[in-house]
């Protein structure tokens, strides 16, 4: 069974967060979040003001910033996203709020830019 690192609701981080394991955020992050090869979950009540990259991103809380995933992004009904979303597969539940551009293409590389 794979463990999940957790940033609890009383934790506030300003700066860069990087992980090489699944990560769950219930607290507040201002900066950047990079989860290499694993899933990132922003729990209901979690607040992220950051550029976010991960294999898979699940949002149930609030995100202000761009989201880029290698596989998929899931926006739950309790989520608020203010920023662009890019992944090969994206789902947005009824009741979710998204302000920004949604792109369902593969992750961009510098060579393709």
Global pTM reads 0.89
Close Cβ partners of 46 (under 8 Å, ≥ 6 residues apart): 7, 9, 25, 26, 27, 28, 60, 61, 62
CA distance 54 to 21: 10
Q: What is the pLDDT along the chain (113 residues), one digit of tens a residue?
A: 578 999 999 999 999 999 999 999 999 999 999 999 999 999 999 999 999 999 999 999 999 999 999 999 999 999 999 999 999 999 999 999 999 999 997 555 444 44
């Amino acid at each position: 069974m794979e463990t999940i690192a957790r940033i609890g609701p009383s934790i506030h981080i300003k700066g860069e967060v990087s992980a090489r394991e699944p990560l769950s955020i219930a607290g507040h992050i201002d900066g950047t979040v990079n989860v290499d090869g694993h899933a990132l979950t922003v729990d209901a009540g979690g607040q992220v003001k950051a550029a976010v990259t991960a294999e898979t991103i699940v949002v149930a809380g609030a995100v202000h910033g761009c989201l880029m995933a290698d596989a998929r992004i899931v926006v739950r009904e309790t989520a608020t996203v203010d920023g662009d979303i890019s992944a090969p597969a994206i789902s947005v539940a009824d009741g979710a709020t998204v302000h920004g551009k949604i792109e369902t293409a593969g992750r961009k590389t510098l060579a393709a830019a």
